[in-house]
Structure 1
Amino acid sequence: MIDFTDSAFQNDPHPTYARMRRTGPVRRVRLPSGVDAWLVTRYDDARRALADPRLSKSVAVIGASPTAGGALTRHMLAADPPDHTRLRRLVSATFTARRIEALRPRIAVIATELLDALDGRDRADLIDAFAFPLPIQVICELLGVPAADQGSFRTWSNVIVAGAMSGDRLGPAIESMIGYIRTLLAERREHGGDDLLTGLIQVRDSGDGLTEEELTSMVFLLLLAGHETTVNLIGNGAYLLLRDRERWERLRADRALLPSAIEEFLRYEGPVETSTFRVATEDLEIGGEKVAAGDPVVVVLLSANRDDDRFPGADELRLDRPQNPHLAFGHGIHYCLGAPLARLEAQIAFTALLDRFPGLRLAVEPEELIWRPGTLLRGLTELPVRL
């Protein structure tokens, strides 16, 4: 049985997942929330499960969190077709390749300004000073969220993504987030703006099939998912490069490696550890195990991406890995809508770091670093560096 709350597991879950892939790749476990669920750890099983329509993500099937109710759980990540199709269509136009690429100059300016603020300093926390504020500023500008609110939002989101492991702090954080979003929506209805948030409000108020709960939930999802994965992508990638200076120097010397390096960061130490809940709508089989209708299923993306049957030398970080069909952004109809934006932000972030601070080094030993609690996300709480 896995103890998800054990600090040794949280800091390095890979050995445990490797044993599971060998001895019981699909097995029942008790999650920190107290729920018993099937954990899927091998690549082929994971990929099939992520695209299996018999595994529902609908809040109507799974049931809403008793704390959040419906206010934060009526978004596209917690919906099956046709609701999922309708909700995803409302925001998909914002995340086209052309529109994302058009953000490049602005993201580059934000990255430069953040690194400018570090000039003259010997030491910094790269998460706090760079990996967090870059994507949160981008998504806030895209949505039209005031920059002054980023600190509060970060506190709430850290508690929410840790889930049951946050204890008594979870309920108040959710309520604060709900109140914040509702206030934000009320202000934008009164004043308007040229941003995605105003566009979603217009869709809601025109009666085009978007309920107020769905609107609140959609803003929550875009804010949370719009920065959390990229924070961890940048932080984890920087850690992996600085843990082995040869890779840092190799990337400095050959920038053509950057796209494949980013994909390898996503595979090797991806920003999302597990998928969100799915529930079987009928009896089915996963990896030779019989899953009964009503059983919860959780796919371990972090484990699937270290499966030697799919990735030769899976436990080795290879910046030039030629074929890398990782599952870091999911698979199937719930594949991450913001993946192109996350990749672009990472590309700009690493280019800026390599250019500005070529001598960047870890300020502590790797084993001193602490990873964020919870089973949903995979990222460091801080990354002390010498500039």
Structure 2
Amino acid sequence: MTQGPWPQQPPEPLLTRDYDADPAQVHERLRKIYGPVAPVDLLGVPVWFVMGYEEVLRVLQNSGGVWSKRVDRWRAHAEGRIPADWPLLPVFQVNNSTFQEGAALNGLRHAWTSALAPFQNPGHPQAKQLEQAVVDHADDLIGVLAEGGATGWADLAAQYARPLPLMVAERMLGFPAGRGEDVVMDIWRMIDAGPEAAAAFERLYAAMTDLGAAKRETPGDDLPSYLIEAKPDITLDELARELLMLPGLLDFTASLVCNVVVEVAANPDVRESLSVGAIDETVNRVALLNPPMANLTFRYALTEVKLGNYTIAPGDPVMLSVAAAHQDPRFAGAIDWHAIRTTRAHLAWGAGPHNCLGQLLATRITAIAVHRLFKRMSKVKLALPPDQLPWRPSPFMRALRSLPIQYELAEAPRPPRSGPAPDQAPAPQEPPADEPAGRQSRSPLWTFLRGLRRPR
């Protein structure tokens, strides 16, 4: 029986210690009480939390045109009932294609599709160069870990999985020499949402605006130039806001790398499968079991609509939970978990008008990162049981705060390359004898990473 807009009792908070520790148990409890859609409190704001696979897919596909991502459709926001200091408000005020619809969305997504194609099409020279660059960056990071010896302890989240995609972002964005690594550090600060996040965002927005202006004057083989070519009428403000989406995609990738490493390290059978080339399937399986983007940003009902056991009023926000949808018995119960290949019908990459356009890029970076790690290391042992690993509190991401491991190299330590990857990205070379650490000894990024090394 369909109930009214909100239950009489106040909605319970979603983001609790129980949720941080084990969201699956919270999903199960909410499902038993409310069904596939539950009223929750998100940091003081009432939200419909959608957990059913069919319901999440229906809203994502939006075949009836009854859902919008435009923030001006949010009734409580339009009426001034969302506090100005609500912690998540800046997320919804970025005003890029994530929050567009209709012709504006279609134009920007067409530009993104064209701009990403050289990096995602396996036959394109740019994609081949990028793949080799990912290999080189991975080897460089492993080389820093190994500078203290062939065995040791490391935090693979901070020292490998997170910096690797950001180094890829630096390359794709085409920053001038000396500027890119400062941007990478600011991306990290912004994503971590710490005390420096606001200032980091302002610097990043300015850097992306300057970059867009430079690429409009002198195009290159890089993402901003490709976006401008695909959409010549894009303004510098629009371009800067679109470019700020790339760090989000690559932070998703970093989380996926961590989650795959945990799955491989904790399961000898999975590691054995890597040796026979099944890494893409492992990545897909982890995206199903533990999607990094656990919950999506809001959609708003444009008209009264029934969802689950409730009637959603116009302007009400719904937050779609991909993680909960994958646990929905109606979906999970139909999966053969012993099959060699798991389903591609999961929602880790979204669906419908806002599905992820960078899926191939994120998957390839993840596959290379995991392959290089387990090729270079003969031992990767989790320092904590999988159920005790620390997670970053977040309403959207399911990402590890740290991934402590004990490792042993399968080969002699390889020092990092002495300079940035050239366009043709050859195999890593030994640095010259008169420049043992080269540019990386002076780089803020590499200085930071070396500072994270743990003593043997």
Same fold (TM over 0.5): yes
Deviations 1:314-343 (A, max 9, x none): 7x9768343241101111111101111111
* Contact 1:47-1:331 within 8 A present in 2 as well: yes
What is the letter of the counterpart of residue 371 of structure 2? T
Name the SS for the 2:49 alignment partner.
strand
Correspondence list, 1:123-138, <5 A: 123-138=153-168
Name the SS for the 2:372 alignment partner.
helix
Alpha-carbon distance, 1:250 to partner = 2.8
* Contact 2:40-2:48 within 8 A present in 1 as well: yes
- Does 2:397 match 1:377? yes
Alpha-carbon distance, 1:245 to partner = 3.5
* Contiguous gaps of at least 5 residues in structure 2: 1-10, 408-456
Which protein has the larger Cα radius of gyration, Structure 1 or Structure 2? Answer: 2
- Does 2:260 match 1:250? no
Alpha-carbon distance, 1:72 to partner = 5.9
* Contiguous gaps of at least 5 residues in structure 1: 160-165
Alpha-carbon distance, 1:301 to partner = 0.6
Aligned residues with identical type, % of pairs: 26
Distance 2:287 2:337 in 1: 11
What is the letter of the counterpart of residue 44 of structure 1? E
Alpha-carbon distance, 1:351 to partner = 1.2
* Contact 2:183-2:207 within 8 A present in 1 as well: no
- State which of 276, 293, 300 in structure 1 corresponds to 2:321: 300
What is the letter of the counterpart of residue 223 of structure 1? P
Name the SS for the 2:311 alignment partner.
strand
Quick one: structure 1 residues 193 and 324, their matched pair in 2 at CA, closer, same or farther if it must change by over 3 Å?
closer
Distance 2:90 2:251 in 1: 22
Correspondence list, 1:65-214, <5 A: 73-96=94-117, 97-98=120-121, 99=124, 101-102=127-128, 103-119=130-146, 120=149, 121-145=151-175, 146-159=180-193, 171-186=198-213, 188=215, 193-201=220-228, 206=232, 208=233, 210-214=234-238
Quick one: structure 1 residues 278 and 259, their matched pair in 2 at CA, closer, same or farther if it must change by over 3 Å?
same
Distance 1:312 1:274 in 2: 21
Cα RMSD (Å): 2.9
Aligned length: 372
Distance 1:240 1:70 in 2: 30
Please report the TM-score for the alignment, with normalisation by the length of structure 2. 0.74
- Report which stretch shifted further, 211-220 or 348-357: 211-220
Q: Look up the match of 1:233.
A: 256
* Contact 1:261-1:320 within 8 A present in 2 as well: no
Q: Look up the match of 1:28.
A: 39
- Report which stretch shifted further, 275-284 or 351-360: 351-360
- Report which stretch shifted further, 96-105 or 21-30: 96-105
* Contact 1:140-1:147 within 8 A present in 2 as well: yes
Name the SS for the 2:392 alignment partner.
coil
Distance 1:153 1:279 in 2: 29
Q: Look up the match of 1:270.
A: 291
Q: Look up the match of 1:363.
A: 383
- Report which stretch shifted further, 20-29 or 300-309: 20-29
Name the SS for the 1:310 alignment partner.
helix
Distance 1:259 1:229 in 2: 16
Name the SS for the 1:151 alignment partner.
helix
What is the letter of the counterpart of residue 14 of structure 1? A
Name the SS for the 2:402 alignment partner.
coil
Deviations 1:198-228 (A, max 9, x none): 3445677x5x2x2343222101112322x11
Name the SS for the 1:194 alignment partner.
coil
- Does 2:73 match 1:61? yes
- State which of 329, 343, 347 in structure 1 corresponds to 2:363: 343
What is the letter of the counterpart of residue 361 of structure 1? K
Deviations 1:269-301 (A, max 9, x none): 111011111111111111242111110011001
Alpha-carbon distance, 1:57 to partner = 0.8
Q: Look up the match of 1:38.
A: 48
Name the SS for the 2:154 alignment partner.
strand
* Contact 2:98-2:354 within 8 A present in 1 as well: yes
Please report the TM-score for the alignment, with normalisation by the length of structure 1. 0.86
* Contact 2:255-2:399 within 8 A present in 1 as well: yes
Quick one: structure 1 residues 70 and 19, their matched pair in 2 at CA, closer, same or farther if it must change by over 3 Å?
closer
- Report which stretch shifted further, 145-154 or 122-131: 145-154
Q: Look up the match of 1:259.
A: 280
* Contact 2:209-2:237 within 8 A present in 1 as well: no
Q: Look up the match of 1:163.
A: none
Greater helix share, 1 or 2?
Answer: 1
Alpha-carbon distance, 1:45 to partner = 0.7
- Report which stretch shifted further, 132-141 or 192-201: 192-201
What is the letter of the counterpart of residue 172 of structure 2? L
Alpha-carbon distance, 1:30 to partner = 1.3
Deviations 1:125-144 (A, max 9, x none): 11112111221111221112
- Report which stretch shifted further, 53-62 or 150-159: 53-62
* Contact 1:264-1:317 within 8 A present in 2 as well: no
